[in-house]
Amino acid sequence: MKYSDVLIKAGIPVELLNTPKSNEYYIQILKQLAEKLGHTPSMSEMKREGQDPSIYVNRFGSYNKALKIAGLPINESNFIKKRYW
């Protein structure tokens, strides 16, 4: 049994352990936060909730790709739309 397994059995929450977490773990966090907020969380909302959005960029290539994998709509209103003619 690994030390982290002992800590989990002792009741220490997985979130407090410094162990690698799966992509599914982070996708589940996104889904839970979206359910709590009632909409797709922005990166600033993730920060306010104590999450580091850079994890999603590093793991999935971009925050929007993580949202897509989670089945959440992308916050297109956060983008500046410009047209160059």
Give yes or no for a contact between 30 and 66, defined as CB atoms under 8 angstroms apart: yes
Read off the pLDDT band of 6 (50, 70, 90).
confident
* Of the listed ranges 6-10, 26-30, 47-51, 62-66, the one predicted with least confidence: 6-10
CA distances to 3, 9, 13, 37, 75 from 57, in Å: 29, 31, 24, 21, 15
Put simply, whether the predicted model's pTM sits higher than 0.85 gets the answer no
- Asked whether the predicted pLDDT for residue 83 surpasses 60, the reply is no
Residue whose pair of structure tokens reads 């925050």 in the numeric block: 63
In this predicted structure, what is the pLDDT of residue 14?
A: 76
Encoded tokens for 81: 């739309």
